[in-house]
C-alpha cells in the first residue's frame, strides 16, 4: 500500500503542497523547476523529507509540515509504533475495512434526526389536541365548504361566508339593505344611482323608477310614470283642515281654489299642475279618456243630467266606480263625479279639469284634455280637488 506525505514547499515565493510516495511511484522533481505560478499545473515540486530539510527559501523554515492529524501524516511503521488492527497489513489480507467507524461513532450513538424529532413532537401535540402548524389550521378551514362558495362575493372561513361590502350572508347572493342591483350591490339612496333589483329597491322607502331608485310615493298616492311626481289616488276628502286621499270617502266639495291649495299644503302636498293632472289621466298611451281611446258609458259617474243641481246629489264616494281609473292603474274618478281644481290660473281665473256628474253637454267635456277656467273663489257642490307631491 502507498502512503502520501504532504509537505509545504516554497515555490517562487508561494507555498505549495509537495508530496512523496513511501514506496515509490513518483520521480523526484527537477530542482530547477521554475517558480512561475503559471507553471504550477505543469510542474509540482515534489520533494522527499531530506530535500525539504536541506532547502529553505525566502528565510522561511522549509521543514514546516502541514498541521495534520497524526494518523493522516505519519506511518506507524516508520515511527516505530506498533501496527493496529486494520492497518496496512490487515488491508493486504482482507481483514481490515476502511469504513470501520471509531467506537465513539457507533450507530447506536448517532445524534437523532432533527426532522424525526419535530415530527414526533407534532404527533404528540396532535394527540393532545394542539395544532402546532398554522398550515394545519388553514387546511382544516378549507375542509369545510361554504354555501354556494359564497357566490364569488365573499371569503369562506370554517364553513361561514365573510361577505364583501354590500352583500348579505349566509351565501353572499343578495344585497344588504341600502344596496341594490345584485350582483353589483351598489349603494342606494339617490335618484341618480341605478341600483334596482328585479323592479324593486332594497332600501326601505325607495322604489325603482326608470332603472334608478327614488323615494317611493306615499301609499295613498301613485307615481305619474317615471317622473318625480306623485298624485293622489282619490279625490280629496276632508280630515279637519287636511286633505286626505282615501277610498269610499265623500269628496271635499264647496271649496275654492285657495282653500284647496291650503288643504294640500297642510298635508305636506300641493295642488297638481294641469300638465301633471292630464298626464296622469291619459297614461303612457295618451288616451283621450282615462279608461281608453273612446268615450264609454258606465265606466265613471258622469252625465247624470244637464240641470246642474246645486245640492250635488249625484256625487258618490271616492272609488265607487272601479273601472273609472286613470291612465295609470290605481288613480280613480279622473272623469266625472266632481270637477277638480288645478294649480294653473290665467288672467285671475283658475283651472278646472275632469268634468263632473252634471253639466256636460258633450263627452269631450269629460275627457282628459278639457281644461276650464273659472273664478278662483268659486264654491260649488260638484267642485273638489286632489293633491300632488314632488319626490
* Domain residue ranges of the chain, discontinuous segments joined by +: 4-104, 177-216, 221-390
What pLDDT score does 390 carry? 94
Nearest alpha carbon to residue 352 among 268, 265, 286, 255: 255
Angle at CA 143, nearest 5°, toward 170 and 138? 95
SS3 per residue for 323-372: CCECCCCCCECCCCCCEEEEEEEECCEEEEECCCCECCCCHHHHCCCCCE
Rounded distance, CA 239 to CA 81, Å?
131
Whether 37 has a pLDDT exceeding 90, the answer reads no
Ramachandran quadrant class, 307 (left: phi over 0; alpha: psi -120 to 50; beta: rest): alpha
Predicted local confidence at residue 286, as pLDDT: 94
Which pLDDT belongs to residue 99? 46
CB under 8 Å to 181, separation ≥6 — which residues?
Answer: 175, 194, 195, 196, 197
Q: How far is CA 260 from the centre of its chain?
A: 51
pLDDT value of position 172: 94
pLDDT value at residue 89:
43
The mean pLDDT value for 98-109 works out to: 44
- Determine the pLDDT at residue 18: 41
SS3 sequence, the chain?
CCCEEEEEEEECCEEEEEEEECCCCCCCCCCCCCCCHHHCCCCCCCCCHHHHHHCCCCCCCCCCECCCCHHHHCCCCCCCCCCCCCCHHHHHCCCCCCCCCCHHHCHHHCCCCHHHHHHHHHHHHHHCCCCCCHHHHHHHHHCCCCHHHHHHCEEEECCEEEECCCECCCCCCCECCCEECCCCCEECCCCCCCCCECCECCCCCEEEECCEEEECCCCCEEECCCCCEEEECCCCEEECCEEECCCCCCCCCCCCHHHHHHHHHHCCCEECCHHHHHHHHHCCCCCCECCECCCCCCCCCCCCECCCCCCCCCCCCCCCCCCCECCCCCCECCCCCCEEEEEEEECCEEEEECCCCECCCCHHHHCCCCCEEEECCCCCCCEEECEEEEC
Quick one: pLDDT at residue 131?
A: 42
Residues 338-364: what's their mean pLDDT? 91
Query: For residue 380, what are the contacts with CB-CB under 8 A and spacing of at least 6?
Result: 253, 254, 310, 312, 339
| pLDDT tens per residue across span 314-330 | 899 999 999 999 889 99
pLDDT at 210: 75
C-alpha–C-alpha distance, residues 308 and 314, integer Å: 10
Of the candidates 37, 55, 57, the one whose C-alpha atom is nearest the C-alpha of residue 47 is 55
The reply to whether omega before 183 is within 30° of 0 (cis) is yes
Q: Residues 122-150: pLDDT tens digits?
A: 455 445 444 444 444 444 444 578 988 89
CA atoms within 13 A on the CB side of 204: 1
Write the burial class of residue 90 (CB in 10 Å: 0-12 exposed, 13-18 middle, 19+ buried): middle
* Domain 221-390 -> CATH class: alpha beta
Does 56 have pLDDT greater than 60? no
Query: Under a CB-based contact definition with an 8 Å cutoff, are residues 73 and 67 in contact?
Result: no
Q: What is the pLDDT of residues 158-198, one digit of tens each?
A: 889 989 888 999 999 988 877 777 787 877 655 545 566 56
Lowest mean pLDDT among 32-36, 153-157, 224-228: 32-36
Which residues on adjacent β-strands are paired with residue 157? 160
What gap in Å lies between CA 45 and CA 25, rounded to an integer? 15
State the pLDDT confidence band at 157, using cuts at 50, 70 and 90. Answer: confident
The whole-angstrom separation of Cα 313 and Cα 200 is: 43
Whether pLDDT at 348 is above 90 = yes
Choice between 109 and 237, residue whose per-residue pLDDT is larger: 237
In angstroms, the CA 265 to CA 140 distance is 65
The more confidently predicted of residues 90 and 232 is 232
Ramachandran region, residue 289 (left: φ > 0; alpha: ψ -120 to 50; beta: rest): beta
Amino acid at each position: 500500500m502507498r502512503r502520501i506525505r504532504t509537505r509545504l514547499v516554497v515555490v517562487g515565493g508561494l507555498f505549495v503542497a509537495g508530496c512523496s510516495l513511501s514506496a515509490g511511484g513518483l520521480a523526484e522533481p527537477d530542482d530547477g523547476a521554475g517558480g512561475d505560478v503559471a507553471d504550477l499545473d505543469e510542474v509540482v515540486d515534489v520533494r522527499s523529507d531530506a530535500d525539504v530539510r536541506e532547502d529553505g527559501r525566502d528565510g522561511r523554515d522549509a521543514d514546516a509540515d502541514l498541521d495534520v492529524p497524526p494518523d493522516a501524516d505519519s506511518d506507524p511503521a516508520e515511527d516505530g509504533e506498533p501496527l493496529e488492527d486494520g492497518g496496512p497489513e490487515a488491508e493486504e489480507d482482507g481483514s481490515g475495512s476502511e469504513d470501520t467507524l471509531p467506537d465513539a461513532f457507533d450507530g447506536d450513538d448517532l445524534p437523532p434526526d432533527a426532522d424525526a424529532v419535530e415530527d414526533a413532537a407534532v404527533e404528540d401535540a396532535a394527540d393532545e389536541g394542539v395544532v402546532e402548524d398554522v398550515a394545519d389550521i388553514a387546511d382544516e378551514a378549507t375542509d369545510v365548504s361554504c354555501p354556494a362558495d359564497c357566490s364569488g362575493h365573499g371569503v369562506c372561513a370554517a364553513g361561514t361566508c365573510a361577505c364583501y361590502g354590500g352583500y348579505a350572508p349566509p351565501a353572499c347572493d343578495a344585497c344588504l339593505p341600502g344596496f341594490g342591483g345584485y350582483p353589483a350591490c351598489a349603494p342606494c339612496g339617490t335618484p341618480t344611482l341605478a341600483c334596482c333589483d328585479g323592479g324593486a329597491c332594497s332600501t326601505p322607502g325607495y322604489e325603482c323608477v326608470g332603472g334608478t331608485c327614488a323615494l317611493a310615493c306615499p301609499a295613498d298616492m301613485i307615481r305619474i310614470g317615471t317622473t318625480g311626481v306623485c298624485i293622489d289616488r282619490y279625490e280629496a276628502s276632508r280630515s279637519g283642515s287636511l286633505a286626505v286621499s282615501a277610498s269610499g270617502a265623500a269628496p271635499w266639495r264647496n271649496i275654492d281654489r285657495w282653500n284647496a291649495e291650503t288643504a294640500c299644503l297642510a298635508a305636506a302636498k300641493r295642488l297638481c299642475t294641469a300638465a301633471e293632472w292630464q298626464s296622469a289621466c291619459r297614461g303612457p298611451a295618451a288616451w283621450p279618456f282615462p279608461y281608453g281611446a273612446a268615450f264609454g258609458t258606465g265606466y265613471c259617474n258622469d252625465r247624470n243630467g244637464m240641470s246642474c243641481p246645486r245640492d250635488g246629489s249625484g256625487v258618490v264616494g271616492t272609488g265607487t266606480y272601479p273601472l273609472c281609473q286613470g291612465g295609470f292603474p290605481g288613480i280613480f274618478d279622473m272623469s266625472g263625479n266632481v270637477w277638480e281644481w288645478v294649480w294653473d290660473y290665467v288672467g285671475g281665473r283658475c283651472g278646472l279639469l275632469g268634468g263632473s256628474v252634471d253639466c256636460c253637454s258633450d263627452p269631450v267635456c269629460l275627457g282628459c284634455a278639457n281644461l276650464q277656467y273659472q273664478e278662483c273663489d268659486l264654491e260649488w257642490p260638484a267642485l273638489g280637488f286632489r293633491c300632488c307631491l314632488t319626490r
